[in-house]
Amino acid sequence: MNRLERVLVTGAAGFIGRCVVNRLVDDGYLVRALVRRHCPLLPAGVEQTIVEDVAHVRWEQVLIGVNSIVHLAGIAHTRGVAESEYERVNVAPARALAQAASSQRVVFMSSIRAADNSGQEPCDAYGRSKRAAEQALLALHPSACMLRPVPVYGFGARYNMRALELLARSRLPLPLGLLNAPLSLVSVQNVASAVSFALRRELGGAFVLSDPGTSSLNALLHDYRHALGRNALLINVPLPLLRSLTQMIGRETLFETLTQSRLTPPQALLEAGWKPVHETTCAGVHDWAKR
């Protein structure tokens, strides 16, 4: 890799973006970070380009001197967002970026929601927006790399993972001992290493991005508390009772999410030669708890 290679990273100030920028800097890339406001958490020497709205970027200017693009910017949560807003923030900028890019390599941070396990069309607005963004990029850049991460955990995580972290850090007994449905998760460090690998190897196509092996909700909580030197304090409450409790508070869909098996191994990435930072989710969760 040419140490003078410049990479544009959109969404660079976000949870995943900061880790990706740090990894790319460590790997010797010059980074141009697209941010909404100056981010003091990015490494010294990173060129920060401030844009108030990713939907109004002048891509031709931003891409001057850029060899590769890592497109992370977009809406990353799935609740309370109109489909039109997903189109405006997730799809339209990807389409405009594809039209402005010329010979640059492209790595796009998509989502496992861009396709279900059978490869059918996504069933929610967020997944549809990620699939549409993939298609917009691939239409003009057929060799682009689409990374499809499962839920991402790690220091600075937000939304559901932040809620789980707060539960794990509490000293409360939790009635979640029987929530052992196998899950695929991925550490933010593994996401960053996969981005660097995709750039270095010039990968093309769509790749599931997850930690090798499996985990579960109760395993995550157990491993997190174990890393803090505490007992897990997970109580085995029967699942029908948990279902009734979630029905009473209007969160039955949350119960379904926590109890269904969602296994998506990163086989294609591993076969391509990717070496994850964390070989297991247990190792990643221990790292997360210690930060």
pLDDT, tens digit (0-9, with 9 covering 90-100), for 40-71 = 999 999 999 999 899 899 999 999 999 999 99
Is position 256 within any domain?
no
Q: Which of 111-125, 158-172, 196-210 has the highest mean pLDDT?
A: 196-210
Cite the DSSP H helix spans in the chain.
15-26, 59-62, 83-86, 92-100, 125-140, 159-169, 188-201, 217-227, 239-248, 252-259, 267-272, 281-290
Total structural domains in the chain?
1
Is position 135 within any domain?
yes
Is position 255 within any domain?
no
Structural domain boundaries enclosing 88:
6-149
Query: What per-residue confidence (pLDDT) applies to 120?
Result: 62
Query: What per-residue confidence (pLDDT) applies to 26?
Result: 96
Mean pLDDT within 176-200? 96
Is position 42 within any domain?
yes
Contacts 24+ apart (CB under 8 A), 58-61: 59/96, 59/97, 59/99, 59/100, 59/101, 60/100
Q: Is 172 helix (H, G, I), strand (E, B) or coil?
A: coil
Is position 90 within any domain?
yes
Pick from 83, 179, 98, 96: nearest CA to 146? 98
Q: What is the CATH number of the domain that holds 107?
A: 3.40.50.720
Is position 237 within any domain?
no
Is position 143 within any domain?
yes
Is position 64 within any domain?
yes
Mean pLDDT within 12-23? 97
Global pTM reads 0.94
Q: What is the rounded distance in angstroms from the CA atom of residue 47 to the CA atom of residue 35?
A: 10
